Structure 1
Amino acid sequence: MATAAAPADDRPLKRPANPNFSSGPCAKRPGWSPAALSDALVGRSHRSGPGKKKLAELIERTRAILGVPADYRIGIVPASDTGAVEMAMWSMLGARGVDMLAWESFGAGWVTDAVKQLKLDDCRLIEADYGLLPDLSTVDPDRDCVFTWNGTTSGVRVPDGDWIADDREGLTICDATSAAFAMPLPWDKLDVVTWSWQKVLGGEGAHGMLVLSPRAVERLESYSPDRPLPKIFRMTKGGKLNEGIWKGETINTPSMLAVEDCLDALKWAETVGGLDGMIARSEGNLNAIEAWVHRADWIEFLPSDPATRSSTSICLKLSDACPLEGEARETAPKRIAKLLEDEAVAFDVNGYRDAPPGLRIWGGATVERSDIEALTPWLDWAYARVAGA
């Protein structure tokens, strides 16, 4: 961790208690310490009785907090959210045409997989630039649909699930990695949902969660794609769903330290009011940023529509009122982020490398609103330094 520089007269007096504002891995829950992992089954098999119990507990706590329907399967899978989305795409797509929605880099990555790797014959792209949503009314309910609920690198989320037809024939495959536990998800509209522990829960990387509706299970059992599937993608045996995966019998070996850490985060989520409490904490962080942006004339949201602004990956850009031009404007966010890091006030707040130049501040439920409010004067301070350089 960087060492805080000596104070100067123009520096704000208050500092965030936790300077971790990264959009992944994200801040640990308030009060976390390695002691939270003291009950981890290190050195024990995940297939042992206690190991299976831990994994099953993680699944059931997840179900209870998120309100996942009883007939939906929940599995712990390899390779974080990326692995979960890949499992769904490689195993299910190709049975019918698919609409691929993309308005930021991760959604664009799923487009690349569908077009260049899976080489799907009937793949329609529905795209929009950073800061915008595509026209959701053009999605065809007779086709499968792959989309991110919350665009982590653009700060743009879908406002709701009303655009998804109740009588759809296709499957909806939703990458919800920056949305789960911070935004309400309409389970009846979603057939495949994925996320990772490292986002809103503040857990560790490498493990993903995969939720399947009964319609998604039917697709797996009725459709065999004309492509080889690696072992870690296979969810069926003999044409039937491998039920063990959805009971905690993971495809490959999970880290029992990471499992313990996720259980700790889920238990903490219960203490702050469960899903409603987690959503309120995240929305409160967005409200704090909105109040600051309203006061500051040099910065604005990348997404202009308040209904689509993310409460987790909060993305900002320099406003038209900012006098910086050319290279100075292009490099300003990076220089602001570096100043804040040097002061040990905020880490990892530069925008994503593929996004337009800007700042990205994580506002998930593990971040305290008081830390967001302490950060905003420092953002003004850093901008003043950069603009006056």
Structure 2
Amino acid sequence: MKPARPWFSAGPTAKRPGWSLAGLPTDLLGRGIRAPEVVERFAYALRLTREVLQVPDDYVACYLPASDTGAVEAALWAMLGQRPVQVVAFENFGLTWAADVRDHLKLDPEVIEAPWGELPDLSRVDPAKDVVFPWNGTTSGVRVPNADFISNEREGLSICDATSAAFAMPLDWPKLDVTTFSFQKALGGEAGIGVAVLSPRAVARLDTYRAPWPIPKVLRLQDGKGFDRALATGTMINTFSVMTIEDWIDALEWAQGIGGLETLIARTDANFAALSDWVERTDWIDFLAVRPEIRSTTSVCLKFTDPRVTGLPAEDQRAFVKRFKDLLEDEGAVFDMEPHRNAPPGLRLWCGCTVERADVEAATPWLDWAFGEALR
């Protein structure tokens, strides 16, 4: 018995149950990106995004090119430089943001690091400084358990990469000044468009501060007066895909129809629980995240514990993962379960809300089978 929908990629993630390309409207394809009907469709999608994600009324949201990466970069380039910067890095993308701040913006960030599977000492976060951090480490399976480390009386901005947390975990909006995500994660949208949600404090930074470096047009959040408020209405910085927006609207309307954010989180938690049950009863695998309270419920990263694998050189462990993956995909049982290329060898299965619990449960015997076969 195989999963009915054997898609466990961490991005783009599985489409919603019942999704069909034929179900997407096509009447606006081929229209100009500034046509009133197209502009309204983008605006509608942004309104739906705010409603489903329960964004506070005094926050604004806007689209950015290049998925979550583009949204994070836009915030870094436009807002950093006024205050000292800290970057929390406990997986690949935190390390990437730290490198960008240091090597490209030529700032001198304090990097608060932890090894794979651990969370750094968040008590080191300084409310007088801007802080950049991922809520959920897509490549490590580690998440912050809450935002208590961010002060309500902070002077700096909190810039949160929430791409594998949004729509799947509760976000503490009063603690977050910039929150970014992409279509391709928790709701199974297509790649290429990111979203940045800005608090009044973030908008004030854009209104009163100009970074000393030139900012590329596709990352530009400001006009001649400060924050470009047209962006908050759904206006596009450059030409976006109308089909991608229609696909995003389809995902959001599905989310609303099944009960909204609370249901999305409950579905995610149920999927994680199903996989967790299997991990607990399986002696050759364990969570990469050491402590239960910091384990991701979406991008679940696992490590091998069997000495027949862990005793191999790193290159041979990666070859083992490839055999494991090939066995599963040749059977059409589980697709895209390999970890990020920079992560330790192991498995990574997406358990977000568009995945069905029954498919997680059906996948686990195949994981057991593939492990035994790959050892031969």
TM-score range for the pair, normalised by the shorter chain length: over 0.9
Show the counterpart of 1:62: 49
Asked if 2 retains the 8 angstrom alpha-carbon contact of 1:76 and 1:250, the reply is yes
Provide the secondary structure at the position in 1 that maps to 2:300: strand
Percent identity for Structure 1 against Structure 2: 53
Show the counterpart of 1:4: none
Show the counterpart of 1:151: 137
Q: Distance in 2 between matches of 1:308 and 1:267?
A: 31
Paired amino acid for 2:270: G
Cα shift at 1:39: 4.2
Q: Distance in 1 between matches of 2:308 and 2:144?
A: 29
Say yes or no: does 1:221 pair with 2:207: yes
Q: Distance in 2 between matches of 1:171 and 1:30?
A: 38
Q: Distance in 2 between matches of 1:220 and 1:111?
A: 21
Paired amino acid for 1:149: W
| Cα distance change of structure 1 residues 330 and 158 upon mapping to structure 2, 3 Å threshold | same
Paired amino acid for 1:312: T
Matches for 1:34-73 after TM superposition, within 5 Å: 34-39=21-26, 41-73=28-60
Deviates more, 1:328-337 or 1:243-252: 328-337
Structure 2 length normalisation: TM-score? 0.97
| Cα distance change of structure 1 residues 128 and 94 upon mapping to structure 2, 3 Å threshold | same
Paired amino acid for 2:363: L
Paired amino acid for 2:226: K
Show the counterpart of 1:250: 236
Say yes or no: does 1:309 pair with 2:295: yes
Residue number among 189, 202, 212 corresponding to 1:203 in the alignment? 189
Show the counterpart of 2:158: 172
Paired amino acid for 1:273: G
Q: Distance in 1 between matches of 2:330 and 2:284?
A: 22
Cα shift at 1:35: 1.5
Say yes or no: does 1:381 pair with 2:369: yes
Cα shift at 1:330: 4.6
Q: Distance in 2 between matches of 1:131 and 1:210?
A: 27
Unaligned runs of at least 5 residues, structure 1:
1-13
| Cα distance change of structure 1 residues 104 and 323 upon mapping to structure 2, 3 Å threshold | closer
Cα shift at 1:384: 1.1
Show the counterpart of 1:93: 80
Q: Distance in 2 between matches of 1:330 and 1:341?
A: 17
Give the RMSD, CA atoms, in angstroms: 1.2
Q: Distance in 1 between matches of 2:226 and 2:15?
A: 38
Q: Distance in 2 between matches of 1:225 and 1:135?
A: 30
Cα shift at 1:58: 0.8
Provide the secondary structure at the position in 1 that maps to 2:195: strand
Provide the secondary structure at the position in 1 that maps to 2:110: strand
Q: Distance in 2 between matches of 1:354 and 1:344?
A: 26
Q: Distance in 1 between matches of 2:32 and 2:354?
A: 30
Unaligned runs of at least 5 residues, structure 2:
none
Structure 1 length normalisation: TM-score? 0.94
Cα shift at 1:325: 2.3
Give the 4+ runs in structure 1 shifted more than 6 A: none
List per-residue Cα deviations over 1:272-306 (Å, max 9, x = no partner). Answer: 21100000111111101110011110000000111
Provide the secondary structure at the position in 2 that maps to 1:345: coil
Say yes or no: does 1:109 pair with 2:96: yes
Say yes or no: does 1:136 pair with 2:122: yes
Show the counterpart of 1:24: 11
Name the count of aligned residue pairs. Answer: 374
| Cα distance change of structure 1 residues 362 and 228 upon mapping to structure 2, 3 Å threshold | same
Residue number among 338, 341, 350 corresponding to 2:326 in the alignment? 338
List per-residue Cα deviations over 1:59-94 (Å, max 9, x = no partner). Answer: 111111111011111101111100000000000001
Provide the secondary structure at the position in 2 that maps to 1:326: coil
List per-residue Cα deviations over 1:324-381 (Å, max 9, x = no partner). Answer: 6214545322221111011111111111110000100011110001000000000000
Deviates more, 1:28-37 or 1:43-52: 43-52
Show the counterpart of 2:71: 84
Paired amino acid for 2:350: W
Paired amino acid for 2:58: D
Say yes or no: does 1:366 pair with 2:354: yes
Provide the secondary structure at the position in 2 that maps to 1:315: strand
| Cα distance change of structure 1 residues 199 and 94 upon mapping to structure 2, 3 Å threshold | same
